[in-house]
Structure 1
Amino acid sequence: MITQDTIVALATPSGAGAIAVIRLSGKDAIIIAEKQFKSVSGKTLSKQPTHTIHLGHIIDGDRVLDEVLVSVFKDPNSYTGENVVEISCHGSNYIQQEIIQLFLRNGCRMASAGEFTLRAFLNGKLDLSQAEAVADLIASDNKASHQIAMQQMRGGFSSEIAKLREELLNFASLIELELDFAEEDVEFADRTQFKELINRIINVLKRLIDSFAVGNVIKNGIPVAIVGEPNVGKSTLLNALLNEERAIVSEVAGTTRDTIEDEISIGGIGFRFIDTAGIRDTKDVVESIGIRRTFEKMDQAQVVVYLFDAKSIFSQKACVETISIEIEKIKNKYPQKPLVVIANKVDVISSKELEELKNSIKDIKPISAKTNIGVEDLKITLTNFVNTGALRNNETIVTNTRHYDSLLKALEEVSKVKDGLNTGLSGDLLAIDIRQALYHFGEITGEISSDDLLGNIFANFCIGK
């Protein structure tokens, strides 16, 4: 699958900017670039040391396209493991396209999505999990997802998997050797040590699998549904959390007729807040659709925030019993989901009324979305729902669904090996389960891969990376 042709693509985001970077990679990248580059000092690119930068002009015949800086990286000491040239030009769309088209006419091919990183993988500069971390790093939009992607790109996850695979492979070799001497009934693999290894592998696999729950949340953000009756301040709370006028706020009940979503980072964790239509009995067709979507969003959310109007408790518009019933309904329907019960508009009730409210409804959080009272405490409560202990301790956290699936399959096969050891299973049958476990370990790091798998992974990359 390794190709020797030279590829070219824009490595910076498309659109006008101060500068743009155009990247070439391939055996002939430096030779092709030097034909279109005229150094101000008369240097020849192919004769320059690796990791050097040169000032000059990109020329198309007698026409100067732009004054540029050209960076030279010679194989194997480059990102892709091939000769790489990066051209820093001015960020005009016209200039970018003129330079790219110039190289396409002179021996380059347009790079496919993720092809630079694919070549880095194929040339042994990155393993597959590290390559996937590159895409995660580009997509990271909060501190936690950035930290996990950086750890994975540096090989934290893959090195742990590779070590386990190597130890298992050593024992597998001994088991296979026993099969060659089956008639002599000898054991080269110490069964006690093998059991200890299998138990250790199972513990590591379970820890990595369990970490996916946290990792997936950190990577994709935590959806939080804000629910309650109409006009209790849901949209005001969303605006307070986002610190901007994202949702329309009105005294008219039922103003929010559809869900409104937006994301912010709290304590380095991404949260996606969903302001929903107020839940009530209505004959309005449009509002009914919004209420139906409210329940759909509650199904999808990982945290539910139930909001009620503290003022209405004491103005006889609502009663404690009714609110308590609604809270119990949510708890019964979503027993596994964290529920935050919020008494809003506490700025317009007395301290005595607030104490009475706290005694009537357990574990409420008093806030005033309008004046920001208690909003910061709510943010702290939300971050506490995310177990970031592993993140703080710099432990390996799995965020990739493909890795998670392979880990589950590896655990299944290793568990079979453990059962086989406990029941005295013959070496040839043990060897089959060990091979399957090794296969799934290899899938993660790319030691075992297919063109279809690589195509699916790198198709999700941006062009130029």
Structure 2
Amino acid sequence: MILKDTIVALATPSGAGAIAIIRLSGKDAISIAERQFQSVSGKVLSKQNTHTIHLGHIIDDGITLDEVLVSVFKNPNSYTGEDVVEISCHGSNYIQQEIIQLFLRKGCRMANAGEFTLRAFLNGKLDLSQAEAVADLIASDNAASHQIAMQQMRGGFSSEIARLREELLNFASLIELELDFAEEDVEFADRTQFGELIERITFVLKRLIDSFAVGNVIKNGIPVAIVGEPNVGKSTLLNALLNEDRAIVSEIAGTTRDTIEDEISIGGIGFRFIDTAGIRETEDVVESIGIKKTFEKIEQSQVTIYLFDAQKNINNIESVRIEVEKIRNKYPQKPLLVIANKIDTLTDIQLAEINTSIADVLLLSAKTGFGVEQLTNSLLNLINTGALRNNETIVTNTRHYDALLKAFEEIQKVKEGLETGLSGDLLAIDIRQALYHFGEITGEITNDDLLGNIFANFCIGK
């Protein structure tokens, strides 16, 4: 895939605003912009230094379209590795479209989704995992996902993979060399050192693969289902967490008949809270549908909050404990937080009884806000963010995860081959496959279909 033409697109969000940026990239970007740009000081764009900004006007057949600032970035020192021009114009929709249409008439082509970043990859400015991190950075909506995307865009993940691949490639070369001297029965690759390398690669791959569980929920947000009997304060709790009246609160049981969802950031991590219909026996058809959806949301959630009315159940705590055990037994792998709500109406003795009867219960008053901070801290404790604090590599991309799994499988074959004394030619086959999957991550091994799938998810102008 070789792209030689000059492309143009709006690099800022569509719609009216104070400023809009129109980006051109390609071998003719500067010359095309130069013919339509009239500098206030008579400058010629092609004669200006790279990374400079110039004030002037965009002219179309003698008609001034707008007063603009034109930024010039000459190859190879630009985002795409090509000549790039960025035109900062006023944010009128009309002005934006007039300037873009002008450049299309003068020899540019409208950029495809992600084509600027695709050119950066093809010109060696970014590897494939860094290019994908650009899209993740644009989509990041909390501090944790932003931190991960920034680390990957700076090459943290790809450099780790590249180091492993280079070491493996060195040994692969020695083993391939042995095949040329098969009749002499010599070994160029030290099998002991090779075994140590395989152990180190296995350790790193396991860590990266295990990090995906954390990375995926940080990137996409963590769904938390709030469940319990009717009228225990689920909607009040949701409102307290969101700090707004998002859900209808009523003394009438069964008010919430459908799920209500909203997302907030806690400690830089996105949590999507789902207020569900109260679980009870009912003949109301609509409410029954809502209760059915409640169990569906528990299935889909990463964390479940079981809320019960402490005031109502103080004399029947055993029934609450039984209900909690039912949920734990049904979803043994799913974290469950048990919360006693409306504790502002209880005495210290009654609170002590609840604490004794139900293990790890959280005491809360959604109405007054007491205990909400403890709940948010408990939610954060469920997520292993140690890797974030230690700035370790976290995998968030499903494509990377799949390639790592395949590489790990091939490395295990190499390990078994070493332990059983497998011949060098058979070892070389498994090593080549592992190298292939490493290369898939960084883009050293790729094809047009893969690139098309990846960059199609980018926005136009990036």
Q: Give the TM interval when normalised to the shorter protein.
A: over 0.9
Match of 2:181 in 1: 181
Kindly state the Cα deviation for residue 352 of structure 1 after the two structures are TM-superposed.
2.4
Contact 2:313 2:320 in 1 (8 A): no
Match of 1:426 in 2: 423
Q: For residues 242-279 of structure 1, give each alpha carbon's deviation from its aligned partner in whole angstroms, at most 9, with x where no partner exists.
A: 11111111111111111111111101111111111111
Contact 2:228 2:279 in 1 (8 A): yes
Spell out the pairing of 1:231-250 with structure 2 (5 A cutoff). 231-250=231-250
Query: Matched residues in 2 for 1:249 and 1:60: separation?
Result: 60
Q: For residues 144-191 of structure 1, give each alpha carbon's deviation from its aligned partner in whole angstroms, at most 9, with x where no partner exists.
A: 111110000000000010011011001101111110110111111111
Kindly state the Cα deviation for residue 359 of structure 1 after the two structures are TM-superposed.
2.0
Kindly state the Cα deviation for residue 365 of structure 1 after the two structures are TM-superposed.
0.7
Aligned to 1:414, which of 395, 411, 416?
411
| Aligned AA (1:163) | R
Confirm whether residue 321 of structure 1 aligns to residue 321 of structure 2: no
Q: For residues 57-116 of structure 1, give each alpha carbon's deviation from its aligned partner in whole angstroms, at most 9, with x where no partner exists.
A: 111112111111000000000000000000111111111111111111111111000000
Match of 1:278 in 2: 278
Query: Matched residues in 1 for 2:381 and 2:175: separation?
Result: 48
Match of 1:374 in 2: 371
Match of 1:27 in 2: 27
Structure 2, unmatched stretches of 5+, are none
Kindly state the Cα deviation for residue 362 of structure 1 after the two structures are TM-superposed.
2.3
Match of 1:75 in 2: 75
Spell out the pairing of 1:182-197 with structure 2 (5 A cutoff). 182-197=182-197
Query: Matched residues in 1 for 2:358 and 2:170: separation?
Result: 61
TM-score (structure 1 length as normaliser): 0.98
Secondary structure of 1:432's counterpart equals helix
| Aligned AA (1:151) | Q
Query: How many correspondences in the alignment?
Result: 462
Kindly state the Cα deviation for residue 344 of structure 1 after the two structures are TM-superposed.
0.6
Spell out the pairing of 1:337-376 with structure 2 (5 A cutoff). 337-376=334-373
TM-score (structure 2 length as normaliser): 0.99
Match of 1:268 in 2: 268
Secondary structure of 1:19's counterpart equals strand
Confirm whether residue 199 of structure 1 aligns to residue 199 of structure 2: yes
Query: Matched residues in 1 for 2:344 and 2:100: separation?
Result: 61
Match of 1:455 in 2: 452
Kindly state the Cα deviation for residue 337 of structure 1 after the two structures are TM-superposed.
1.1
Secondary structure of 1:332's counterpart equals helix
Match of 1:103 in 2: 103
Match of 1:113 in 2: 113
| Aligned AA (2:69) | L
Match of 1:92 in 2: 92
Query: Matched residues in 2 for 1:371 and 1:18: separation?
Result: 43
Query: Matched residues in 2 for 1:284 and 1:147: separation?
Result: 47
Q: For residues 187-212 of structure 1, give each alpha carbon's deviation from its aligned partner in whole angstroms, at most 9, with x where no partner exists.
A: 11111111111111111101110111
| Aligned AA (1:417) | V
Q: For residues 218-243 of structure 1, give each alpha carbon's deviation from its aligned partner in whole angstroms, at most 9, with x where no partner exists.
A: 11111100000111110110010011
| Aligned AA (2:363) | P
Query: Matched residues in 1 for 2:359 and 2:444: separation?
Result: 55
Confirm whether residue 443 of structure 1 aligns to residue 440 of structure 2: yes
Match of 2:130 in 1: 130
Aligned to 1:336, which of 323, 333, 338?
333
Kindly state the Cα deviation for residue 349 of structure 1 after the two structures are TM-superposed.
2.0
Match of 2:43 in 1: 43
Query: Matched residues in 2 for 1:434 and 1:359: separation?
Result: 57
Confirm whether residue 64 of structure 1 aligns to residue 64 of structure 2: yes
| Aligned AA (2:371) | G
Kindly state the Cα deviation for residue 138 of structure 1 after the two structures are TM-superposed.
0.5
* Cα RMSD for the two superposed structures: 0.8
| Aligned AA (2:204) | V
Match of 2:303 in 1: 303
| Aligned AA (1:341) | V
Kindly state the Cα deviation for residue 357 of structure 1 after the two structures are TM-superposed.
2.0
